[in-house]
Every structure is written in structure tokens, then in C-alpha cells.
Structure 1
């Protein structure tokens, strides 16, 4: 007999404002307990020091979370000049201090411009990437350094927001897989004085921005489960960029049974993925095999 999953069958997406000093997984588990949810997962790790947007998917929404893992991001960070740490952020040990020259805004802007576009970035040792099954950060804590192949990432835009004698505040729009710590270190190296970040906040992931975020404190203060579930977005927000296909009850039933079906696919490209709806209820994703024929791709479990 199948083991019954503990908790409530909560479905949807929460835009969590992750606090500083907490791992993404710890934040996820706190949220899951608050919702008493059977199943939950987040869509892209933030360092413990970092704050901001951490989308959390509940229940059936986890089936579509991969679409956010590949999404572009936007961050705000503070770059501290003149100090290099072993982790690239303020949580590490300072390993070198250098003098900071009298940079002008123009000097900084010129260096920032050189890092916009496609760049190669070597992932930091203090990261969750794995080597022979072990996270790099575990090896780094043992004093080991593993050679890492550079990765191609894209920096769409960098804006200098403010600066002072110690460093500057920066806003960065970038592709998935971009390490802001590494970017700050490379900028510091290009300026000749070294650098690390002392603050990092994620402002955007894909189509989601920080305007709809909810904090752990706010969730904990809510009176009941119904009030908390009002904070959830419908699960199809994860795939809103895909075209929509609406079908009648008979076609929907056959698709939910795993069958290929004939239906009107006008306006949809062969081989593309579409959102499936019946009576405006989201049922999952289908693939357009040929004109007029679709097959299930990833469906929502329905009673």
C-alpha cells in the first residue's frame, strides 16, 4: 500500500522575501511548516548572506519549477573595495588588503561596461557545485582547491547606484548561473584594488519581481491557513510565457489519461509546448505533435 504523504495538499507559488543569515533550504522548510504543506521546493538557491526573492513552489506547482531555474535574474549588491576575502563575500576571511585609488564614477563605469555582454566566469570554490559528488564548499572548508572550468554567462546590464569612500552599490541584470560574488571580485581585480560583496539582494527572477514578496514574519503572524494560502499565486504563473490551448471536457479527459488527441491547434507551432486549460482550469502542459494533434507533456494531478 502506498505511503500517505503527511501534510495538506497545498498548490501554488509563494514569492518569499528570504531573510539574511538563513540558507535557502532552511527558509523553504520554515515556509513548508507554516503552510503544513505536503510538498514544497524553491527555484534557485540564494546564499545565506543574501536576501530577497525566493519563489517557493507547493504541491503540483513543483512540476513546473524548472521553468524558473533557467530564468534571468536581477540583483542589488554592495561592492566593498580594497579587501579580498576567501569566499568573495563578507562571510569569509580577509586574505589581502590593497589601497583604494581615487576612482571617479567614470573609472568605475568604464570597468563595469567591460563586463557587460557574454563573459566567461569561473565558479567560486565556495559554491554548491559538485566535484565527485561533494559540494565545492565542503572541499573549500577542508582547504582544498579544485580546478573549475569557466562558464559562459551573460550580464545584460549593470548600473552604478551610489558610491562612497569604501565602495559602491550596484544593480545587475544577468543570466542564470551568474555568480555576483565572482563578478564583484573580477571587477575589483580590473580596478586593481580587489573587492568583495557585503550585501546582496535578489530583486527579480524571470517575470517575478520584489513587489509581491512576503516575509517569514508576515506569514507567521497570519491568523490561519486560509489567510496564508491567499498569498499564493496560481501555479500556471510559472509557464505564462507559453502559448495557451483550451479544450473541451472530452479532449481534456483523454489527455489526462495519457492519450494523444485530435484537437484544434491553430496558431500553435509544431513541436512547441502549450498550457492546457479546460473551463479556464489549468491542467498542465502538452506538446503539439503535428497540426491538429497533441500529446501530454506534464499534467497536474486531478481528482
Structure 2
């Protein structure tokens, strides 16, 4: 494989609690090459489509990262967390029982289109050369400037108070956890993201993705010339 200009793109269904780098490392070790990377981080508690590029296809990572993303998942209103997901302890904010679907839809409409968004403190963005999540875990505040993002679709697929199920189509750089925070602020009851699945990147769909461990077995079989177990 290393004797010729090798390049390959893998569509992988990232398991929950795996980091995106965990997946890259697993593929890299199976391929036995160093040049492997992913096209867009998924948080450990998120699942779904992760594009992993190997060999000469790593040159395409930026183009994949720039494509439109689609997500489904759930928000919980009435509480929040420091990371706006389940990575940090839940903090009650206010009783959400009075919130109606119409109020949720009004708030969602205000978060649709071209908006300015402040990334979460618990994110991998670098400020002054440091990952902000490293400062957050030490209890240090870092000033995060709003960034322009585009949310072309923000659809509420089901509402059973306090659970809000959604489908979101958005641009590169959009943090769904930040949308949870902003929704909670607009409803004055707080909110956090309880689950997230990336279902599409550009024209690549989750339905086309491989189970990670099965893919690793296939790669190992291919590189050794044996049949997968």
C-alpha cells in the first residue's frame, strides 16, 4: 500500500464515548500509515457520521469540513450544564412546565438563518494558542467572541416538555451545544443538549457509513491478505 500513492476516504459511524481522534488512531493503526485525519470533530458524547481521510486524500479534509452538516438530537429545557451537554453536571435553572410548543418555535425561528454565535467554553477552539476547554477545566474564564454561522434548518420534530427533539442543517463551525444554550436563554428556563447524531456532511450520509470495529477488521484483513473474522 505504501509503495504507491495511496488515498482513501472512510465514512464511519462514530460510537458514543469515542473521541474523533480515537477513531483516527484506530484507522491509522489498522492501515499502518501515519497520514490519517478526520474532517470535522464530533464530541465524545455525540454519535454519527465521521469522515476519515487516509494517504493522499488527507488533502481533501478542508473541502469536506467546509460542507453543510445535518444533525438530529435532543435538548432538555429547564436546566443547563457548564458544557451545555452531559459532559458536566446538570444544573437546574427554572421550572419549564409552562413552556409551549409555540414558544419553542418562536425561539427557534430567532436562531435560524445567518446568526452570530458564541462557541461553548468546553470546546477545542484555540484562544492565545490554548484549547479553551483546557482553561474551562481549570475554572478559568476565556473571552469568546461571537462568530457568524448559518442555520438553514432548525426543525422541532417532537416536543414533550421538557424534551425537545430537533433536526438542524447548518454551516461549518456551528455548535449545536451553543444552540441549546441560546434556546434556553430565549425561553428563560435554560437548556442543554442530551443527545446528538450527525446524519450528513454534504452529500455523504450516515446511512452509507461503516460500523467502526467491522471496518477495522476489514482493513486488517485487506492489509494482511486474510479474510475478516
TM-score of the aligned structures, taking structure 2 as reference length: 0.91
Give me the CA root mean square deviation.
Answer: 2.2
Aligned to 1:14: 10
What residue is the counterpart of 2:121 in the other structure?
A: 125
C-alpha displacement of 1:171: 0.6
Indicate if the aligned counterparts of 2:99 and 2:161 stay in contact, CA closer than 8 A.
no
Over residues 258-290 of structure 1, what are the superposed CA-to-partner deviations in whole Å (9 max), with x where a residue is unaligned? xxxxxxxxxxxxxxxxxxxxxxxxxxxxxxxxx
Q: CA deviation at 1:164?
A: 1.8
Deviation at 1:127, TM superposition (A): 0.7
**Residue 203, structure 1, aligned to residue 199, structure 2:** yes
205, 218, 222: which one pairs with 1:225? 222
Aligned to 1:30: 26
Cα contact 2:97–2:162 (8 A) shared by 1:
no
Q: Is the partner of 2:123 in helix, strand or coil?
A: coil
Q: Is contact 1:34-1:220 (8 Å) kept?
A: yes
CA distance in 2, matches of 1:218, 1:17: 11
Query: Following the alignment from structure 2 to structure 1, what is the Cα–Cα distance between the partners of residues 3 and 24?
Result: 15
* Aligned counterpart in structure 1 of residue 69 of structure 2, from 68, 73, 88: 73
Aligned residues: 224
* Matched residue, 2:149: 153
Structure-2 residue corresponding to 1:187: 183
Greater mean alpha carbon deviation, residues 190-199 or residues 101-110: 101-110
TM-score normalized with structure 1 length: 0.69
Superposition deviation, residue 110 in structure 1? 1.6
Kept in 1, the 8 Å contact 2:159–2:165? The answer is: yes
CA distance in structure 2 between the aligned counterparts of 1:25 and 1:133, rounded to whole angstroms: 20
Q: Where do 1:267-286 residues align within 5 Å?
A: none
Contact kept in structure 2, 1:8 and 1:36, CA below 8 Å = no
Aligned-residue offset at 1:160 = 1.0
Deviation string 1:102-144 (CA, Å, 9 cap, x unpaired) is 3332221121111111111111111111122110000001100
**CA 1:8–1:103 in 2, change beyond 3 Å: closer, same or farther?**
farther
The Cα shift of 1:37 comes to 3.4
Report the CA distance shift for 1:48/1:169 in structure 2 as closer, same or farther (over 3 A): same
Q: Which has the larger radius of gyration?
A: 1
Alignment of 1:75-90 (within 5 A): 75-90=71-86
Residues 97 and 161 in structure 2, CA contact (< 8 A), matched pair in contact too: no
Q: Give unmatched runs, 5+ long, in structure 2.
A: none
Tell me, in whole angstroms, the C-alpha distance in 2 between the residues paired with 1:183 and 1:130: 20
